[in-house]
Every structure is written in structure tokens, then in C-alpha cells.
Amino acid sequence: MGGLLGLLVAGAVFGLVLAAGFEFARVFRAYDYRHFCQALLGRGWVLFELAFCVLLLLILSVIGSAAGEMLADNLGAPPLAGTLLLMVAISVLTFTGSETIKQVLAGWSFLLYFVYALLVVLAFHQFGDDIVTAYTKADVGSGWLQSGILYSGYNLAVLPAVLFVVARQTRRRQAVGAGLLAGLVAIIPAMGFYVAMMGAYPAIGEQAVPANYLMTLLGMKWFELLFQVVVFGTFIETGTALLHAVNERLDGWLVDSGQSLPRLARPAVALAFLCVAIFAAARIGIIDLIAQGYNALTLVFIAVLVLPLLSYGLWRIGRADRSTITGRGNGSPQASAAGQAAEENAKP
């Protein structure tokens, strides 16, 4: 029960911070993480840049290693084959551009939801009594509040990386609504998966990869294969979104100087980051990467992104509203139009 409460806390934090972030991006027209962090952090944007690069390499290392192990476990292929397949898929998607990436992310999310819903149904069918017993006999436990907040911390680090998907929002209710909905959408599959795992509690807590253990207990090869395909596709989604954000950041920097990022440079940048990340994973190991990297970065992103956004960022949004609406009274047509636009955008 403490785990579910922690996930609810994480979902609430997701929703609130994403709503604030989407609205901040809309007000200041900052839809790549370079401009977003400059508007929010000023000269401190460099701190986010450094931390984001470390997190990017960490995530790419983890998904690259996991993709290799997944193909090796299921098809008997060399781990390198799965890693190379992941790299090629990400590079191709980063070449296609924002619109195609948006469609792929959205479409795959529907498939992800379907498979997770099916997992919950199958788990209750086979382990329903065990799941109920786990929730009726175990204590709530402690630490779920801080764990939920910390869990949300490093996940929210990708907020500036996904702003390209909300660039068409024109009203506050769209930005805030999208943020709150995103928090809900993000946490529902996690809660479903967590409930399903309780069919093997407490033994599943000792497993290095709980999902694989649960698939073995279900004993359905067809579903195990479907689940692995969906997870592999989600690895591709994750890597593509993060590396597309890097390309957009580079493109924004070049546009400011009157240039643009060549299209062929996009997959080249993606491959360069992937190669560095996979090398790091091979030298350090996936378990150590997760154990050491995520914990250290969580507090960093809470300090340099979440707290500034929920304090200074909200203050700047309010100040922008007041300044544009107040500008209606100075007799200027431009100020009047700006004030009317601000009032329109502020409508719920």
C-alpha cells in the first residue's frame, strides 16, 4: 500500500510540475530546453545543461544495455545486436523530424497502455487471491512520501526535453490541462504494473528485473514476447525523445546566429551520444549505473529545475500576466492588443 501511495504522490508531483512547465513554455515561447532554461534559470542554465547531459548518457546507457540483454534472453542473439538495432531505430526517427516523432510517441503509447492493461487482467486471473492477500496483510510501511517525491525528481528532468510536443498550445487551460493529464497518464501504467507484481510478493522484491520474473510466473510465451516488444519500442521512444531534444537545442542555438542544423546532422548527433553511452555501460555495468547515477541526479534536478519552476517560474508567469494586462491603459494600440491577448490566454 505504501508503494501505491508513493506512486500517487509521484503522479501528483508530475502533474503539477508539468502544468507549470508547459505554461511557462507557452508564456515565454520557450519550446526547446536551451531557451526554456535560460528563461527560468538565467545564467544558471549551464547547471541544468551539465546535469541533463549526464542524465542523457545515463538513460541511453541503461536502455542500450537493457535492449541488448533483452534480445539475447529472448532470441539468443548477441547482446550487441539488440544494442545496434536500438541505435539504428533511434537514428532513423531523429532524422524524420518533430511531426513524425510526435505521431510515433502517441501511437506507441496507446499500444503500451493496452499491453499494461492486459497484464493487470492476466495477473488478477492467475494471482488474484495472492494480490488481495498482499494488500490486506502487509503494513502500509514508511518512506513512501519521500520516495514518491524522489521518484518524480529525475523523471521530471526530461520536462524541457519534451516541450516540442506542446508548441501549438495557445491558452492557459490547454497548457495546464495537458500537464495535469500527463501526470495522470504517466502514473496509471506504473500503478497497474505495481499491483500486478504483488501476485509474487515478497519474492519479487529480490529480483533484479521484476518484469522478467513476473512474465516467467505467468507462463505465457506469446504475452511475454508481446511485452518485450512493447518495452523495446519504449526504449526507442525514450532515446528518440531525449536525442531529438538535443538536436532541437543545437538547432535553436544555430537559428539564433542565423543558421540551422543540417538534417543529416541529426542522426549523426544521436549516434555520437549513443556510442559514448554504450561504451560507458560496457565499462560500468547497468546495475551500478542505475544504483549510483539516478540517486545522485535526483536531488540535482529537484534543486535546479523543480524548485525554481514552482517558485520563480510561477512568479514570472504571474508578472507577465500583470504587465501585459496593465499595458492596456497606456493608449498604445500594441499594448491594448497585448492586454487583450493576455486576458484571452488567461481564460480557464
CB atoms near residue 43 (< 10 Å): 7
Q: Do 325 and 342 form a contact (C-beta atoms < 8 A)?
A: yes
Does 25 have pLDDT greater than 80? yes
Does 75 have pLDDT greater than 80? no
340 closest CA partner among 330, 329, 326, 325: 325
Assign 20 a pLDDT band (cuts: 50, 70, 90): very high
Does 26 have pLDDT greater than 90? yes
Does 348 have pLDDT greater than 50? no
C-alpha to C-alpha distance for 223 and 194, rounded to whole angstroms: 18
User: Which range (96-105, 106-115, 262-271, 287-296) has the least confidence?
Assistant: 287-296
**108-130 residue pLDDT tens:** 888 989 999 999 999 999 999 99
**Residue reference for cell 516541450:** 163
Does 277 have pLDDT greater than 70? yes
Q: Do 108 and 233 form a contact (C-beta atoms < 8 A)?
A: yes
User: Which range (8-22, 56-70, 282-296) has the least confidence?
Assistant: 282-296
pLDDT of residue 345: 47
Does 225 have pLDDT greater than 90? no
194-227 per-residue burial string, b: 16 or more CB within 10 A, e: under 16: bbbbbbbbeebeeeeebbbbbbebbeeeeebebb
From first CA to last CA, the distance across the chain in angstroms is 35
Length of the chain: 348
Assign 272 a pLDDT band (cuts: 50, 70, 90): confident
DSSP designation for 348? -
pLDDT of residue 281: 62
Does 309 have pLDDT greater than 90? yes
**Residue reference for cell 492493461:** 117
Long-range contacts of 218-224 (CB under 8 A, 24+ apart): 218/122, 218/123, 218/126, 220/122, 223/118, 223/119, 223/122, 224/74
**318-344 residue pLDDT tens:** 998 887 666 544 443 333 334 444 444
**237-271 residue pLDDT tens:** 888 888 887 877 777 777 777 787 787 788 888 88
Does 70 have pLDDT greater than 70? yes
**How far apart, in Å, are the Cα atoms of 234 and each of 90, 230, 348?**
11, 6, 34
pTM of the model: 0.77
Residue 323's identity, in one-letter code, is: S
